């Protein structure tokens, strides 16, 4: 269902999602009363973002980002801040694993069959939009930068670099 080679229609839908988030990023800024913050740096592309998040009793109440980067890095950060809202840290880690899988697996991977998805399947299907980077290995770091940065934030590290 989510195979990116399925049809041109699906490809253009994914491109639309990326373009929409790239042009109109959600959750830009810093979370008021945030409990963690981290800088993410992707020197290969020049993407630099700051992610802030508010965690309460294991739940990510809110996440936001600021920074500059290419359309893919900004779109991914935007999608991430929407999707992680209200999630547990464990769910975030599963989603991150899914993002990595979506970005790096071959076209014929059956995303739906992967056990990590479970009840997160709907969110993961949205993340399939990032799968377009598969054909551009350098872009995988752009697509995952925000996720690495939020992970660092949650783990109490102040900065992360993709190199």
- Binding stretches for Zn ion (CB under 5 A): 45, 47, 70, 73, 142
Q: How far is the CB of 118 from Zn ion (least distance, A)?
A: 30
Residue reference for tokens 């990326």: 18
Of the pair 41, 73, the CB lying nearest Zn ion is at 73
Q: How far is the CB of 73 from Zn ion (least distance, A)?
A: 4
Distance separating alpha carbons of residues 29 and 93, to the nearest angstrom: 23
Of the pair 47, 123, the CB lying nearest Zn ion is at 47
User: Cα angle at 82 between 14 and 77, to 5 degrees?
Assistant: 65
Of the pair 10, 45, the CB lying nearest Zn ion is at 45
Using the 8-state DSSP alphabet, how is residue 48 labeled? E
Q: How far is the CB of 141 from Zn ion (least distance, A)?
A: 7
The answer to whether 109 and 101 have CB atoms below 8 angstroms apart is: yes
């Amino acid at each position: 269902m989510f195979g990116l080679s399925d049809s041109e229609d699906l490809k253009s839908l994914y491109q639309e999602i990326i373009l929409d988030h790239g042009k109109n990023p959600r959750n830009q800024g810093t979370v008021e009363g945030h409990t963690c913050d981290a800088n993410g740096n992707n020197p290969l592309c020049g993407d630099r973002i700051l992610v802030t998040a508010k965690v309460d009793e294991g739940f990510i109440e809110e996440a936001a980002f600021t920074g500059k980067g290419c359309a893919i890095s900004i779109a991914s950060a935007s999608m991430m801040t929407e999707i992680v809202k209200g999630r547990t840290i464990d769910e975030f880690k599963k989603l991150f694993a899914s993002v990595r899988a979506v970005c790096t697996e071959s076209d014929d991977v059956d995303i739906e069959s992967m056990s990590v998805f479970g009840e997160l399947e709907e969110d993961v299907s949205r993340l399939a939009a990032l799968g377009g980077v598969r054909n551009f290995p350098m872009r995988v770091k752009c697509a995952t930068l925000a996720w690495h940065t939020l992970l660092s934030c949650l783990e109490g590290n102040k900065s992360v670099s993709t190199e």
